[in-house]
Amino acid sequence: MKKVKELSLLSIGLGILIAVVMTAANTYLGLYAGMTVSASIPAAVIAMAVLQGVLRRRSPQETNIVQTIASAGESLAAGVIFTVPALVIIGVWNDFQFWPTTLIAMIGGLLGVIFMIPLRKALIQDDKTLTYPEGVACASVIESGTSESRGGLSLIVSGLFVGAVVKFLSSGMKLLLPSVEFANRLGNRQFFFGFELSPALVAIGYIVRLEIAVLVFLGGAIAWFVGIPLLGTPEHLLGESSLDVAWALWDEKIRFVGVGSMIVAGMWSLISVRKGISSGLRSLKRAYTDRREAVHSTERDLGLVPMLIIFLLCLVMMFSLYEFLISSIELSLLTTGIMIVASFLFVAVSSYMVGLVGSSNNPVSGMAISALLGSAALFLFYGFVGESAILATLGVAAVVCCAACTAGDCSQDLKTGAILKTTPRSQQIGQIIGVVVPAAVIAPVLTLLHQEYVIGEGLRAPQAALFGRLTSAMFGAGDMPMDMLNWGFALGIFIIILDRILAASGIKFRLHLMPMAVGIYLPVTLAVPILFGGLIHFFVHRRDTKNEKLGESGVLASSGIIAGEALTGVFIAILSAASIPIQVKWLGLEPGSAVSIAVMGLVLFFLTKKAKS
């Protein structure tokens, strides 16, 4: 019997290349919009086009290895950018240190992979209630073969071009306004509307669909169309323009309402899935009590010895890193212990939850907040305070977030592999490669983006800003406007109550708190194009809701748009760091709102047309 190609130099090399690209793209995207997108289906389409379409290598398993490596890097980026930038935002670090950032990402990612391995059989093979929707969708794309891979690749490339051109013209050459904003004062009240000229945000809206897009916009509307007018104009801002007053009110007041709502959302996400958490932990117990040896290649996992070696390496790297950073053996030992225990538990939770509700609804933020609050409480109990305790607390949250994100992605990939009869061991090796190599990319990308856009300002990084402010306040190194924070708590609880009423009434539309809270925190200029994308998805599908081809075309074009804009954003940062001028001043052209509005219209037309193709 001919041996099926799985792990090969070609699949590893192509997987690493896509992983690096998608890691850089998602690093930018997560900092910009507070959301990331999966690399699995775009990576699978690219792999099919290259392996099957060009090289005539017709192995679905080899294609699956490529997307496994690629998506591992993308999920790792999500774990890092939601936490590590907090250290820079609150001033603990002046910049992104390469080795600490890389090791935090690598340790968290590796723990996510190896802690998931014992769970694979119990969750993916034995538990029939867990569907792993993204894993099933990716398998169906790969099973479709080469017939549509070239068309899919052309969709990605065309989207890449659109995203790159618009980003370069607006943020690079400054020929287009990056955002269109209008504000007016009626009496003492400020009224504001605007949108970012960002094809990537439109693409995100298409991918997350109308319900989530509407929720993000509702959060923005509460903050900007209700909150800012209600606050009026403070005395110290009376001489400022309406635009400046609106932005100042958001910066000084309104965004902290979003912080309060995000804290409530994080805790509620864990409470609402408590049964799933319990089931995940029971699956962990079953995995260790079930000692039957797998005999078929499609059931063979990575061996115990390599797992132990990786675990011990993570342990040593973790302790050494924190001993170097905080120079306290006691605090380093406590930090290492908390990281291991919390990562172990939340990997089980994440692996279960993505099978139940999908990766998009995985409550990773809730897990990270729980790890942060729990570790901070322990550090305070044992008398650790100051900058070293802040660093240790955020380190725990970062490693746990990376482990949970990676484990969730691994679970989806292993489900794809189970359908395609790919050896789990080959995928697990691919996942390890997909963690180690992209981990080294994240710190340089963060450094470039911080130098060009300033993380926390030009790139809002909502989750990292939340973790940073929360941690510094707990250790007395900073404060937050408690009145706005309390309003956020109250608003979050009110939205939860409304959502429960909707659920009890049998209404399909639900008020999920986390996307609304993110919408409150972010400028509404980001929420508007996300809503545009959600509306495109709705109108394309309104008459043909069962046509999966429509959805797939739009997702591929959107993935290309996101990658094009994000990578161009990184490229502009590289040019800026090298002091290479790209802004066109000699033409004497001034960017105007009308042109930017027209360009946004063209972007919407492009995505609509591609989604229907």
pLDDT at 430: 94
pLDDT digits (tens, 9 = 90+) for 527-560: 999 999 999 999 988 766 555 555 678 888 888 8
Q: Answer whether 0.85 is exceeded by the pTM.
A: no
Angstrom distance (rounded) from CA 184 to CA 225: 12
- Calculated CA dihedral for residues 543, 548, 554, 559, nearest 10 degrees: 150
Measured between alpha carbons, how far apart are the two ends of the chain, in Å? Answer: 41
Residue spans of the chain under pLDDT 50: 1, 291, 294-295, 586
Question: Token pair 């959060």 is at which residue?
Answer: 219
Look at residue 531 in the predicted model and tell me its pLDDT.
95
Residue 432 confidence (pLDDT): 95
**pLDDT value of residue 221:** 94
Q: Which pLDDT score, from 0 to 100, does residue 102 have?
A: 95
**Residue 607 burial (C-beta neighbours within 10 Å; 0-12, 13-18, 19+):** buried
Give Cα separations from 161 to 29, 156, 519, 611 (angstroms): 17, 9, 28, 16
Alpha-carbon span 179 to 164, nearest angstrom = 16
Q: What is the tens place of the pLDDT at every residue in 335-359?
A: 999 999 889 888 888 888 788 767 7
What pLDDT does residue 149 have?
A: 60
Using DSSP, state whether 582 is helix, strand or coil.
coil
- What's the chain's Rg over C-alpha atoms? 23
> In a 3-state reduction of DSSP, which class is residue 545?
coil
pLDDT of residue 508: 83
Query: What's the confidence (pLDDT) of residue 589?
Result: 55
3-class DSSP assignment, residue 291: coil
Q: How far apart are CA 70 and CA 64, in angstroms?
A: 10
Q: In this predicted structure, what is the pLDDT of residue 444? A: 94
At 287 the pLDDT is: 53
